[in-house]
Amino acid sequence: MSASISPEKMSQSELRATAGLASVYGLRMFGLFIILPVFAFYAEHLPGGNNYALVGIALGAYGLTQAILQIPMGWLSDRIGRKPVIYFGLILFAIGSLVAAMATDIYWVIFGRIIQGAGAISAAIMALAADLTREEHRTKAMATIGMTIGTVFALSLIVAPALNQWIGVPGIFAMTGLLALAAIFIVKNVIPDPQISRFHSDTEASTESFGSVLRNTQLLRLNYGIFALHATLMALWLIVPLTLREAGKPAEDHWQIYLPVLFFSMLLIIPAIIYGEKKAKLKQVFIAAIALLLCGQIALALTVGSIWGTTLALLIFFVAFNLLEASLPSLISKIAPVGAKGTAIGVYSSTQFLGAFVGAAIGGYLMEHHGSLALYLFCSGLLAIWLTFACTMKAPAAVRSKMYHVDEIDIEKSQRLSLQLAALPGVREALVLGDERVAFLKVDMNGFDEEGVNKLLEVREEEANGISQ
């Protein structure tokens, strides 16, 4: 890295890579989310669309292929390159969108959504972001990319009703296909090519780490949580738009409810996030959010027929939902072993997409055969189980993750440096991976002596340079 590049600030190349990858990630997720508030209306006019079980499968089908293929696509990007995998995934997504746009019945929509999900490029995008950013800025880059999920989710709910009026759901599918092709242009012309592409333990899944991640009961609780959260979300999109319409709110005006609900829900979670992080009360905030989510879900069941009641219930639900969406990745980072963070995130993300499929599919089946009350009971049951798991979890340590660049060193020297770093004040865990040229640390929120870490790494670098000379 050139000496002219400030270690404190992201370089122009890093900023361009982060912004480009965030836009690609966002365009794809926008294409998946945008049909949620309008698909139930569209399905009513499709052959086979009067079967809620099939509608649920169509809504969540992308989640199944996404969950299955996300980690393998990341591994494939290690072998053939990040950009070829991203190109392939975006082309698949565009094909799936075109199939869904031209669908003549619900079965073709299901097929199109399956193909959309097969373009599972999330892991490859994160790996490319790691290739293109320095260790000290990687967390910022990942956070920026991750933030696009919440942004495009909110945007999709607000603009979908208007787009449905203008171009219909087939037009929306066609538009998302074009956006995927536009994303290919961004990947090719905006995002730099990595000079070196290597495996990154903090962003990619490793087969060696699966055992430890899947045996970690604290991580399993969080994985169930994201499963239940997205299963509930997807199941409710089968009923909430119809409920609002039956209460007297025309479908094209639903944005008038979604916009203030999402705005105020985002505003209200800020104090809770600050309190949880600053006061080391993450567990208490986490449990309260799950309880609030359960209350919001029950309120949705009890306010059917009332626009104001449903609006208030949605506000309660999305305050909790957005707070949990923000909290869960932070908890994963705090709990996951330092050398298995990428694996933990990969399992977590795959479970999230699986939850989207299961929630929509089972929710649709229950609505078709047992009515909307059964759907609400199903969602309530998922959340009640999660609340029980959360109450029995260990309070996460008040730590944050740090990464530092190190020169390439052998295993013996890596282990020695790991022990030296772990012995420094405020360091809870330390792992140096010489082949990846990175040191991973978990450090106390307060009392961490970063200057000591920098001095130790500088001494180690000077020693290595002296030996090489």
Residues 115-130 have pLDDT tens digits of 999 999 999 999 999 8
> With 80 as the cut, is the pLDDT of residue 210 above it?
yes
pLDDT greater at residue 34 or residue 330: 34
**Residue 66: alpha-carbon gap to chain centroid:** 12
Least confident of 68-82, 339-353, 435-449: 435-449
pLDDT greater at residue 233 or residue 442: 233
Least confident of 35-44, 105-114, 367-376, 458-467: 458-467
Q: What is d(CA 460, CA 75) in angstroms, rounded to the nearest whole number?
A: 32
pLDDT greater at residue 333 or residue 3: 333
> With 90 as the cut, is the pLDDT of residue 353 above it?
yes
With bands split at pLDDT 50, 70 and 90, how would you rate the model's confidence at 149? Answer: confident
With bands split at pLDDT 50, 70 and 90, how would you rate the model's confidence at 198? Answer: confident
Beta bridge partners of 404: 439
Please compute the mean of the pLDDT values over residues 66-72 and round it to a whole number: 94
> With 70 as the cut, is the pLDDT of residue 194 above it?
yes
Please compute the mean of the pLDDT values over residues 1-28 and round it to a whole number: 77
pLDDT greater at residue 7 or residue 217: 217
Contact 97, 31 (CB under 8 A): yes
> With 90 as the cut, is the pLDDT of residue 147 above it?
no
Most confident of 31-35, 234-238, 405-409, 463-467: 234-238
One-letter-per-residue 3-state SS of the chain: CCCCCCCCCCCHHHHHHHHHHHHHHHHHHHHHHCCCCCHHHHHCCCCCCCCHHHHHHHHHHHHHHHHHHHHHHHHHHHHHCHHHHHHHHHHHHHHHHHHHHCCCCHHHHHHHHHHHHHCCCHHHHHHHHHHHCCHHHHHHHHHHHHHHHHHHHHHHHHHHHHHHHHHHHHHHHHHHHHHHHHHHHHHHHCCCCCCCCCCCCCCCCCHHHHHHHHHCHHHHHHHHHHHHHHHHHHHHCCCHHHHHHHCCCCHHHCHHHHHHHHHHHHHHHHHHHHHHHHCCCHHHHHHHHHHHHHHHHHHHHHCCCCHHHHHHHHHHHHHHHHHHHHHHHHHHHHHCCHHHHHHHHHHHHHHHHHHHHHHHHHHHHHHHHHCHHHHHHHHHHHHHHHHHHHHCCCCCCCEEEEEEECCCCCHHHHHHHHHHHHCCCCEEEEEEECCCCEEEEEEECCCCCHHHHHHHHHHHHHHHHHHHC
Residue 436 has a pLDDT of 81
Residue 159 has a pLDDT of 93
Domains by residue range for the chain, with CATH: 11-193 (1.20.1250.20), 211-396 (1.20.1250.20), 399-468 (3.30.70.100)
Among 72, 325, 285, 39, smallest CA distance to 169 is for 39
Among 128, 66, 68, smallest CA distance to 93 is for 66
Q: Which amino acid is at 136?
A: E
Q: What is the pLDDT of residues 299-343, one digit of tens each?
A: 999 999 899 999 999 999 999 999 999 889 888 888 888 888 889
Residue 85 has a pLDDT of 96
Residue 466 has a pLDDT of 53
Residue 329 has a pLDDT of 87
Give alpha helix (H) positions in 279-403: 282-302, 307-335, 341-370, 372-391
pLDDT greater at residue 370 or residue 142: 370
The pTM for the full model equals: 0.90
> With 80 as the cut, is the pLDDT of residue 457 above it?
no
With bands split at pLDDT 50, 70 and 90, how would you rate the model's confidence at 465? Answer: low
pLDDT greater at residue 181 or residue 396: 181
Contact 92, 118 (CB under 8 A): yes
